[in-house]
A and B are shown apart, each in its own frame.
Chain A
Amino acid sequence: MSLKYIDEYRDAGLARQLVKKIQAVSKKKLRLMEVCGTHTMSIFRHGIRSVLPGGITLLSGPGCPVCVTAQKDIDAFVELTKIKDVIVTTFGDLIKVPGSGSSLANEKASGADVRIVYSLFDAVNLARKNKDKEIVFCGVGFETTIPTIAAGILIAAGDKIDNFSVYTSNKLTPPALAALMETPDIEIDGFILPGHVSVITGTNAYRDTFEKYDMPSVITGFEPIDILKAILILIQQNEEGKPALENAYPRAVSDQGNVKAKEIMNRVFEVCDAPWRGLGEIPFSGMKLKKEFQGFDAALKFDVNVPDMPEPKGCACGQILMGLKTPKECALYKKRCTPMNPVGPCMVSTEGSCAAFYRYN
């Protein structure tokens, strides 16, 4: 059996035609930013940079949830592992991210109970089966993940599982794009907007930011045809001087998004300010538990006090996430900072731009 809509969206003939068209219309020097870790990976994996005109630069923005997690939150996750009878659960890519002193992987190696889960479902089931333990989930994610965390909490609430909680470090994409646009020295000529974040938010979620900044913006999927198409549209919009918000991924994304998932997300969470690595505190860019679900808030359930520590000296993750530097312009890249021994989160996550540069260059 073939994979649905994979072969079609990897069609070599169509890709060649798109590249030809890109070469033909591209005149200006442009800096296009993707804001999704899976786009970062896909662009590298399919060698998309190598077929673009020299004037087109692709930047990786704040689209990898692990990479944008503030160091203080990483330190809090590490602290949670030190509490008696706590099992810390996390998605895999967070485990190696160094906090100011340690990482979840280090604590696990020293005997702490840290477990990688595939979904919130697994974390809730772990709580169901281990009534004598407290199960804490490290809630790191964008709009794609937040509804799954909300669903996990609703399941736990419905089944009266009171030994489950979440340390929330959720992030919302549109406010980060707006914050990025307000950053001095920023040079971006177009956004390749995330595919699956947009499945939830819908195209309309970006409309305010788009209208305020008139920034060419295209939502797209993860296959090479999807990405080439988005790049072509952004180049055309720039060349014609007609910025627009377009959806090049209509097979998955609608104007209004996944209404049911948003309803579940908003039943459990409410918008709050949130700290982002590199970008700092961004108003209304996070989601915290609503009052009626505070019993599931690990930050309230446990006494986790971590001081504000500076980010690692010399690490340029913050500037890289804003497109102000490329990984190669970081003094630590490939020297003190490698995937085996990462200093910053962009080198840890497989979706981080430094790890991707390291692997594919």
Chain B
Amino acid sequence: MCLAVPSKIIEINDTVARVDVDGVIRETCIMLIDDVKIGDYVIVHAGFAINKVDEEAALKTLEDMRSILAMEDRKADGLSGHP
């Protein structure tokens, strides 16, 4: 079972970090990732952080999707020539 909710690093003690998921605090092992710091969001699987969430990519995916869908809507409405 994969937990899709990113966890926020709030404390680091060697290879173990404390993470916050919407107020629930857990310990997670950070030996599988590099360069983690307090405030980073990580994906946790079975007690281990397996990656940091790329915030820029997260926002860009949404923006790209919105602009493509909006363009399609304009095309459908016959307004594609009016940016």
Contacts and interface: CB of A to CB of B under 8 A. Distances in A.
B29 A252 contact: no
Contact of A261 (B22, B33, B65): B33
A17 interface: yes
Contacts of A41: 1
Taking chain B's interface residues, is the majority helix, strand, or loop, or is none over half, making it mixed?
Answer: mixed
Contact of A258 (B29, B46, B51, B73): B51
Say which size band chain A's interface belongs to: 35 or more
Interface stretch (A176-184, A222-230, A291-299): A222-230
Contact of A120 (B43, B46, B50, B76): B46
Contacts of B8: 4
B46 A196 contact: no
A251 B53 contact: yes
Given A3-B5, A38-B4, A264 B58 contact: no
Contacts of A151: 29, 31-32, 48
B5 A93 contact: no
B32 A148 contact: yes
A260 B33 contact: yes
Nearest to A200: B50
Contacts of A6: 4-5
A121 B47 contact: yes
B48 A252 contact: no
A60 B46 CA distance: 23
Contacts of B60: 250
B51 to A, nearest CB: 5
A285 to B, nearest CB: 20
Contacts of A196: 2, 43, 45, 50
A4 B34 contact: no
A167 B16 CA distance: 25
Contacts, number: 124
B82 to A, nearest CB: 19
B47 to A, nearest CB: 2
A41 B3 CA distance: 12
B43 A199 contact: yes
Interface string A22-61: 0010000000000011100110000000000000000000
A252 B49 CA distance: 12
B38 interface: no
B73 A17 contact: yes
Contacts of A261: 32-33, 50
Name the residue among A145, A196, A251, A252 with the largest chain B CB count within 10 angstroms: A251
A250 B57 contact: yes
A261 B46 CA distance: 14
A69 to B, nearest CB: 15
B35 to A, nearest CB: 10
Nearest to B31: A151
B61 A248 contact: yes
A195 interface: yes
Given A5-B58, A251-B53, A14 B65 contact: yes
A302 interface: no
B54 interface: yes
A340 interface: no
Contacts of B22: 1, 3
Given A5-B41, A91-B46, A252-B43, 12 more contacts: A5-B6, A14-B69, A121-B48, A147-B48, A147-B50, A148-B45, A151-B48, A154-B31, A195-B2, A252-B53, A258-B32, A351-B1
30 contacts: A1-B23, A3-B21, A3-B22, A4-B6, A5-B58, A6-B5, A14-B65, A17-B69, A21-B69, A37-B2, A119-B47, A119-B48, A141-B46, A144-B2, A145-B45, A148-B45, A148-B47, A148-B48, A195-B2, A196-B2, A200-B50, A222-B4, A250-B57, A251-B57, A252-B43, A252-B53, A252-B54, A258-B50, A260-B33, A264-B31
Interface of A: 1, 3-6, 8-9, 14, 17-18, 21, 24, 36-38, 41-42, 91, 93, 118-122, 141, 144-145, 147-148, 151, 154, 194-196, 199-200, 221-223, 225, 229, 248, 250-252, 258, 260-261, 264, 350-351
